[in-house]
């Protein structure tokens, strides 16, 4: 999870907001700015869950770049219910190979700041 936190904090100007993870984990780390959430991370004992919410524009970008993602991420996307406010991609990360996919999802959500 450290690699993902480092990526977000070095590429985005979003405030980290810590909270109790509730039913999703021991704690929650959201990256928010101006009332909008970039993503949320929910830590558990030996794993964590990443939540990335895609609206219409993000869904279109993702669907036009399916080949850049692992079959696991595409399966999560395909099996995620479409709500009125978008698709809520809950990604349980027990395999660290998913980190690069999650970074790409975040980049679709919001382009990184210029360094």
- 13-69, pLDDT tens digit by residue? 998 999 987 777 789 999 999 989 999 999 988 889 999 999 999 999 999 999 999
| Average pLDDT of the chain, as a whole number | 92
Burial 18-52 (b: 16+ CB within 10 A, else e): eeebeebbeebbbbeeeeeebbbbbbeeeebbbbb
Closest C-alpha to 47, from 90, 96, 12: 96
Sketch the domain layout of the chain as residue ranges.
2-109
Element (H, E) at 45: none
């Amino acid at each position: 999870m450290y690699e993902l936190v480092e990526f977000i904090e070095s590429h985005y100007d979003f405030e980290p907001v810590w909270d109790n993870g509730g039913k999703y984990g021991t704690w929650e780390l959201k990256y928010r700015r101006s009332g909008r959430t970039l993503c949320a991370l929910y830590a558990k004992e030996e794993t964590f869950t990443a939540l990335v919410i895609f609206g219409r524009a993000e869904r279109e970008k993702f669907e036009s770049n399916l080949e850049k993602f692992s079959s696991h991420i595409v399966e999560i996307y395909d099996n995620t219910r479409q709500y009125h406010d978008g698709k809520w991609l809950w990604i349980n990360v027990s395999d660290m190979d998913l980190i690069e996919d999650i970074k790409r999802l975040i980049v679709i959500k919001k382009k990184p700041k210029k360094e």
